[in-house]
Every structure is written in C-alpha cells, then in structure tokens.
Chains A and B, each alone.
Chain A
Amino acid sequence: MGFDKLKNLNLVKLKARERGSAKGGDVRRYYVTVHGGGDGLLLPANAGTILRDQAVANLRPLRVETGFDYAGLEIGGESLNAAPGLDMAGVRARMSPANICDTRIVVSHQAVLDGGTAEQGFGLVLNVSSGDSFDWRGGLSTVAADIRVRKELAGPQLSAVVLDIFQELMLAQCASIQSVLGKFTASGGTASDFYRAKADFANEQIANGNAVTLFEGYAPDRYASFAMLARTDFSQSLDRDERRRFADLWRRFLEARFADHFLTVDEAITLVRAGRFHRARPERTNGAGVPPGPRQIFGSIKEAKLRKVLGDRQSVLRTASYILCVLTGKPSIADIGKVGALFGWKNMARQTPERLRLCTDASYQQMVPLVRRGLVTPMRLFLKAS
C-alpha cells in the first residue's frame, strides 16, 4: 500500500509531562484569594483544578475550529487574611515569594488598595472583588485592572471572570502567539506595552461596534480580556460563536498591532519543527478532536518541504495569520480521496497524499472535520509576506 511514509511518522513524544516540569517555563499561574472574615473564601484556594478543567474543555474545541493552540497550566491558589485596608504591598508581604511573579488574580471581598506603591514584582495583577455593580476599571500602579462583580451574582460572574482570565492566558501561552510576542520583547517591547495595546484594541473594537461587553461599566486601561468580550452570558462553557469571536479577536489584534513582529519563513520553520503543539487525535476524545495531555514536538517534518509551502508567495499573499495543516493521522481508504483533494497528491497512483497545506481562515473550514477526527494537526502561524 502507499502508506509507508505515514506509518513511519515518528512524532517525538515528550517524556516528561509538560505540566509541572521546569521545561515548560513558568507553568503555575497563581491566584490569591483574600479572606475577608466570616465563612468561606470568595474563591476557594483549591478551585484551580475545576477552573483548569473547564478552561481546557472550552479550548479543546477552539483548537479544532480555529487552529489556535493552548498551553495547559496548573492553576493554584493561595489564601490570605484580609486586614482593613489591605494593599498590594501587604499582599506581597504575605505571599510565598515563589508565587509572586506568577500571580495573576487577587480575589477578595473588598477591592485591594493600591496606594501608588512601586512595582511589586508581580507578573500581572487583576483585582476581582465583589461590590454593587459589574464594572471593569483601569487599575492603578500595580493592579492592571480592577474588576467588580455584583454581590448577589458573585457566583456566576466571578467564576466567569476568573475563568476568562485563565482561558486567555492559556491561549496566549500557545507556541504561535508566543513566537510573535517573543520577537516583540526581543525588539525591546515590554509586557506592559503589550497589555496596553490589548486594552487599547479592545476599546477600539467596542467603539467600532465589533465587540460587545457584558460589563455595565467598561474602561480597560492596562489589561483587557478577549475571552470576556467574546462571551454573551455567564455560563462557563463557550459555544461555537463565542469561541470563534474569541479566536477572531486574538487574530485581528495581532494582525493589527504586531504585524511587524510576524515570522519570516526561517523563523516559521523553526517554530513548526521545534515548537510544541497539541496533536489532534481521534481516540478517547469522543469527537472533541484534541486529547488531554502534553503538547508534542513535530520535529520529523522535513525542512525543505516546509520551506516549499511556507515560502510560496502564491499562498502567503500578505502579512497575516495562516494555518499550517499537517497530515498526522492515517486516513482510511474511504477518507483518502477527500484528504488527497484537500492536500493534493504526491503520488496519485499509489494514493499518497501530500502532508502539508497552508490554509487561510476561510479555507481552513474544510479541514475542520479532518482535524476533529485526528487526521490533521493544525498550527496557527503568523507569517510575513516575503
């Protein structure tokens, strides 16, 4: 038969689980939950596993439908005691030092004060607290955004906000977006510039009517969450439209603001061959496409072939976002015709299809059923026109 090459696909599996290993960089994202007296915390310290499972459940179909990947994070919480007038310096003093640089969210009954103190070394701090309205306000010196949820709706609103922030983070940690941001920081950009650009873009989208927000008052200044803009209600799962909007916001944001840092052909080849991506696999996924587990390196893809596809000026017409589809599964006899029609034939007589195809967002839609069944692994690439 003609599948010898497909059989020999030797995908390098990571020995160590990506989560929890030092290899994946800073893999733990912490939230701090402040205990304001009385019974229970606003967000229990161990709610992280539930949040992560839900975020992954939302991002797995997003991987299939849009080609964006995600990085599975381990999310953990630390609980603090509230004191009247707790400020960021106080939060910092009470946290274990190892978690400070990873801290993203502070959840508390009252807003944590941010008395204009100097940089506290946190990665990003968003303060979620319960109040009388559902508002998103710009933060002060250390806190990037101050988010209020309604006391009576604290349950749904709070978990939606927190979930969105982690979802956003998991999506942004994917290899494709990180490659662009890596170039951005290498050229002197800072995380703070990036967050500001994002908030700016979000404001612009709302002003143009391209996005709507559920917040009663929405004034992001130094941080905006695209996941929060994509959602239409406070349910924890995103439906197809919401996922599409979520991915679309990210795509348009990067195209509008970071086109200068998109990848050249050489950089894209390195990313494809050395970057980690979730492989779409049919087994155990019940039709969801992407199995739980670590991301893989697709090092076996030949450089020359990649160069041929990514350097093709007829497909990379402009500096934009593309999706590289890699045939990683073994198509059945019934499927081979469709696969060949989409990928093109290497040897039609022996029924051997090509393995690579670069799609745009529009043409990727044909690939979705194949991705769902684990035959094709998509990789989102932000490419510069050569």
Chain B
Amino acid sequence: MSEYIGVVDLTVRLSSMNPLGHIDVQDANRRFERVIVQSCKTMYDDAKGKGETATLARYEAGGIVPQGASEKLFHFEEYSQIISFARTVRSRLIAERLPFKICISKGRLGSGNLREKVADALGALASMDSDRQAAAEKVLLDLFNSVDPQEIDKLLQLYRASSPSESSVALSTAMEGFKGFGIWIDTSLLDERPVDLFVNYFPVRNVHRRLINERFLDCPFNCDPNDVVYTLMGDGEADSGARKATVGKAQVSRRTNVLASGHAAMIDSILDLLKRSRKAGEENAIYYVSLLTAIVRSSHFAKIEYLTKSKPFGTSRTKELTATWQNYPPIFQTLALDQHNRAILRKVPGIDLTLAAMIDQVHAALTNEPASSVVGVTRPARDQTARDFCDGMREHDSIFGKIVRHIEAHYGESMMRRIWAVPADVMNEERKRAMLEVMTDRQ
C-alpha cells in the first residue's frame, strides 16, 4: 500500500517570493502554525464524525504532521485524505492572506531521526555474521567516523534532527522548484483519481531571463454553479419627472451582486497579496499566475451571457438586468471587467496562461466538452453535429467571440499572440483555431 506525503511552507521566508513589508514573519509563522494545527483537527474531527475508527487510530499512531520546524511535512494513507487536507490548508491560508506552497507526492516520510535509523546497524555490530558486521561498520564509519557504541551514543545526543527519507528529499526539491502559490501535485499521483486534478503551468524566468512555463498538476477549488455575478439596473429617479431628462444612461447606478460564499472573498485576498507583492518588486506577481489559473479552472462559465438590452431579472417585475455582461463568475470580473485590476494584471508576466485558461474554460463550458487541462480523458472524434455547434461559436455575436474580442480589446494584440503560443493542455489546437477565426472575422 502506498502512502502519500506532502509538504507545506510559507513563501514569506523566501525573499524572492515575499510580499515585503506586508507580512511580519514572526506573526506569519504563528498564524501558519495555527492553520496547520486547526487543519489537523479538522481532519481528525471529520474522521471522528464519520466514525472511521481505523483512520483515527492511524492518525493517533503516526500523526498527521510528524516532522518539520519551518516547512511542515504531512502524510496520509489515502489519496482522498491528503487532497482534503491540502485543500483545507489552502483555503485557510488564503483566508489568512498568507502566501504558501504545498507539494504532494507518493512516498514515505522515513522514520524519525538518525538514532532509529542506525539502530539496525548498531545491532548488527554485535552479530556473528561477519558480512553484516562489515556492512554495518561501513555505514557507521561513514556517518560517525567511529564504530564505538558509546562514542556514537554521545554523537546522537548532540545531533537529534529528524532525518529525511528518499521521497521526502525529492519532495523538498520539488518544492524548491515550484515557483507559484497553491498546490503542486507530483505526476505519480496521476493514476489515482485523475478526475479531480488538472494540468496547470507556472511561469518562471530561466537563467537567461526568458519566460518559460513549467507544467504541474493542480487540484481545483470548490465550484458552485450559483457563484455568478449579475448586475441589476439602478432605479435612478423613475418617479421624479423633473430630473428624468438629466439622468442619462451614465447616471444609472449599478449594483453588483457578489456572493459572499463564493470565490469573491478569496479573489479579494489573493489580489490584495498580489498588489503588495508587486510593490516589493514588479516581477513578484509572476508567482500568482498559477493560483489565478486554478480559480479560472474552478469557475462556472456556462451561464455567462452578454445582454444588448436590459431584460427582466428572473420572474421579478421590477428588477432588471443591465445591458452588459451578466451571470459571469467572479474571476471574470477580475480578469476582464475590472479596469483597475486589468491595468495591474496586464503587466504580470505569464498572465497569458490565465487568460488562455479562461478562453479555454469558456469554450469548454459552451460546447459542454472537457477543458484542455483535464487529464486522463481521451477526446472522442467529433461527429458532424458537434462540429456544426462549434462553427456556431465562431459567429460574430456568439458569446465566445464576444469574450475573445473583449480580451483582445483590453489586453491588446500582443497578448493574443502570447495566448496563441500557450501549451496545448492550457488551450488545445482546436480552440486556438476557433479563437483565431473569431479574431480575423471582423465585420
């Protein structure tokens, strides 16, 4: 039975990823520890509530977070448990506005410290088997430069650090290489339950300062189909005839509905961190791209529409939806509609990955096909009806065309060229063609 291990750390300790002057490292560490402890409790209580006594016994025997002074290493026996833990930690750390990264892979953490590791070798010293004895001596000499048990005991009193296993060393290396916020999942987990996971990319500068995209697996946030934003017409001054003439269209007050239980609050936290990071250094915003992409991938785009004139809201007689974008997920507001955010996001290196993911997600939602980033799904060959439907997407007034043109208008043509160049599992070739056709088809 394979075990799953993971590591989580704050990126505030890494100077390159630190939103400087925003986070007090002492305080951040305290809050970080609190989040991890509470998440452990959540896992424990969850298992307790479900009455899983075997799981509880395992938690009690092996712990959930057995190692780690600064970076916390955790281990679970089941895939669903480690994903649940990682997602719990993620949502809590985002709510605490602490930048972090989590890496997950298969493997074992290795047992305890050096003392336990060399216990076998020490035992073998006294054995009659000369081969075993020689092997043990080699190990001990290599480590301690001595085979005297008393000397070794003294040294182990001085050196008590926990020692890593092979897989936890690999995990630490992966975490060093992961230059983004969020969850990084090793490809070895792909064969477990690939449905949950999707391919994500984080942009990073290579030694020649060129932007390259690194592929990794990510897991999505909760996706609530009701988590959409709509804008209602302000009532203006309907009953005062005198002012009616001067109340032009521009004066109609708009109220945006933001669901508090959806992504809006989370995006708020992330953008706050992003802006502060950018203040410390323009390039720092690069680390947020993968997290924004993860939100795009967890958003519900199927309801999005563009109204050319206002229409009644639901069955209401008095409320009207404004003639504009309607029923879009909160991330669309952030990326495409909010001009303050757009001005900042435009300058984020690698933001083309997020925008491409959004176009891909819109196309997938409208055609009811899987997104390009879904792993382990083979796409069936298209039949004629599906192809006809896709042709419909390219028409001038289709919502897909509207979105592509909207992004082109606000991010510029060079951004579209960068979007065109993203890897195929951010946006597949067919959707790139659809995008290009929309762009060239100006009427």
Contacts and interface: CB of A to CB of B under 8 A. Distances in A.
B47 to A, nearest CB: 9
A153 B49 CA distance: 24
A239 B42 contact: no
Interface string A27-61: 00000000111111111111101110010011001
**How extensive is the interface on chain A, given as a class?**
35 or more
Interface in B184-201: none
Among A44, A84, A159, the most chain B Cβ lie within 10 Å of the Cβ of A44
B49 A41 contact: no
A235 B261 contact: no
B164 interface: no
Given A44-B95, A286-B253, A61 B49 contact: no
A47 B316 CA distance: 27
Contacts of A84: 45, 48-49
Interface string A149-160: 000011110110
A40 B251 CA distance: 38
B264 interface: yes
Among B45, B232, B243, B251, the most chain A Cβ lie within 10 Å of the Cβ of B45
B408 interface: no
A50 B258 contact: yes
A49 B236 contact: no
**How extensive is the interface on chain B, given as a class?**
35 or more
A241 interface: yes
A162 B247 CA distance: 33
Nearest to A243: B235
Given A37-B42, A46-B265, A82-B42, A155 B224 contact: yes
A82 B242 CA distance: 57
B240 A369 contact: yes
Interface stretch (B86-94, B122-130, B132-140): B86-94
B177 interface: no
A50 B268 contact: yes
Contacts of B314: 233, 235
Contact of B261 (A37, A43, A232, A372): A43
Given A39-B88, A79-B95, A239-B232, A158 B261 contact: yes
A75 to B, nearest CB: 10
Interface string A345-375: 0000000000000000000010011001100
A38 B258 contact: no
Contacts of A369: 237, 240, 242-243
B145 interface: no
B13 interface: no
B91 A41 contact: yes
B318 A40 contact: no
Given A40-B91, A45-B95, A156-B226, A237 B269 contact: no
15 contacts: A38-B46, A38-B84, A41-B91, A49-B268, A50-B268, A81-B42, A84-B48, A154-B224, A154-B226, A155-B227, A235-B314, A239-B235, A241-B318, A369-B242, A372-B243
Given A46-B268, A155-B259, A237-B232, 12 more contacts: A37-B84, A46-B97, A54-B255, A81-B41, A153-B226, A163-B260, A236-B258, A237-B257, A240-B235, A240-B238, A286-B253, A365-B239
